[in-house]
Structure 1
Amino acid sequence: MTTYAALLRGINVGGSRKLPMADLRSLLTGLGHDGVRTHLQSGQAVFSAGHGDEESLAAELTRAIEARFGFRVDVIVRDHAYLRAVADACPFPAAELAARQLHVTYYSAPVTPERFAAIDSAAHLPEEFRLGDRCLYLYAPDGLGRSKLGEALSRRPAKGLIATSRNWNTVLKLVELTDPEA
């Protein structure tokens, strides 16, 4: 059995696409997953699965949500080892920053620097970003809601690429929740 986190994009925000966490837990359990837990109301679920891989589990959950709730939700699934590696590879001094200042955007596939080449990084200082493995780290001293760089980064859509962001507290909590040793 492998423990995974499912990251759902854009649910329970602004009164639309409501997906109660109790219903999400029930749905994941109904799909045959064990140890199902959710974190917050913004779309994080943790579960164990003895079959599938990240992509097939994400596709399975996307289909199940659409069938049950009538709307499509983009889902990224990542295992504990990946989540731990993302936290460990943070290029910013995470321990010295407030959680609202540091965010990770998880991508469904690798992204290259060319994707963001048109962004004038110097114009957004002191905000900064760095690419990781299927993720992007964003340092936004005034928080994501006020981040001009975060806004510029989110305007770089790519067909078929899913992206969803989490603050540093959630990044660390997902590492903790997926840890098979915990």
Structure 2
Amino acid sequence: MTGYVLLLRGVNLGGGTALSMPDLKTVLTGLGYTGVTTVLRSGNAVFEAERAPEPAVIEAALAAGVGLRTRCLVRTEAQLRAVVDGHPFRDVADNGSRMQVYFLESNPTPAQLAEHDPVALDPDRVRVGDHAIYQWCPDGISTAPALLPLLDRKWKILGTARNWNTTTRLLGLLAQRPTA
């Protein structure tokens, strides 16, 4: 069995995206995933599966099972570890709640990067990685340039953000899984 992390977009941040974590666990277990553990209330889960989960299947099960329409990203332990290992601000980012990672469904094309470069929004604090954008927000996330509108409107790439504390916690949970 392979361990995966599920990242739901925009859950429990307000409005119509409420989801209880027991409901999320029920939906994932109903899809045949095992060892399901939810993390925080923001739509994070760690689980095991025999084959790679399809995000569209999870999205459809959430819509059918609990009436939630949202998008999701799934990452393996190796993929999440690569994001953590690729942290470009480790020398200055001293507060995990102010370090943001935008997980991307796909990488931007060179043309997308040339036309709409997120680094240009904050050259000292934004870097593009593999399937991720890193943003150091020393004055707080709410005062930093917003990157999700760039992803949605300009690149048309699905993305969802997590702070560094959550990202490393998810990786830790994946790493603690018993190996077969």
TM-score normalized by the length of structure 1? 0.86
Kindly indicate whether the alpha-carbon contact (under 8 Å) linking 1:113 and 1:131 is maintained by their aligned counterparts in 2: no
Offset from partner CA, 1:74-95 (integer Å, 9 cap, x none): 0000010111111011111268
Q: 1 CA distance for matches of 2:129 and 2:159? A: 13
Return 27-36 or 68-77, whichever deviates more: 68-77
Measured after TM superposition, the shift of residue 110 of structure 1 is 1.3
Alignment of 1:26-45 (within 5 A): 26-45=26-45
Measured after TM superposition, the shift of residue 142 of structure 1 is 1.1
- Mapped pair 1:104 → 2:104: no
Offset from partner CA, 1:19-40 (integer Å, 9 cap, x none): 1000100111111111000000
Offset from partner CA, 1:16-70 (integer Å, 9 cap, x none): 311100010011111111100000001101100002x25x2x1211110011122
Give the gaps of 5 or more residues in structure 1.
none
In structure 1, the partner of 2:165 is: 169
Q: 2 CA distance for matches of 1:32 and 1:21? A: 17
Task: Give the paired residue count.
Answer: 174
Offset from partner CA, 1:157-181 (integer Å, 9 cap, x none): 233x210000000110011111135
SS of the residue 2:28 aligns to = helix
In structure 1, the partner of 2:135 is: 138
Return 138-147 or 109-118, whichever deviates more: 109-118
CA shift in 2, pair 1:140/1:95, >3 Å: closer
Q: 1 CA distance for matches of 2:13 and 2:111? A: 31
Give the gaps of 5 or more residues in structure 2.
none
Q: 2 CA distance for matches of 1:83 and 1:94? A: 20
Q: In percent, how many aligned pairs have the same letter?
A: 38
Q: 1 CA distance for matches of 2:46 and 2:135? A: 24
Kindly indicate whether the alpha-carbon contact (under 8 Å) linking 2:12 and 2:18 is maintained by their aligned counterparts in 1: yes
Alignment of 1:86-165 (within 5 A): 86-93=83-90, 96-112=93-109, 114-117=111-114, 118=116, 121=119, 124=122, 126=124, 128-148=125-145, 151=146, 153-156=147-150, 157=152, 158-159=155-156, 161-165=157-161
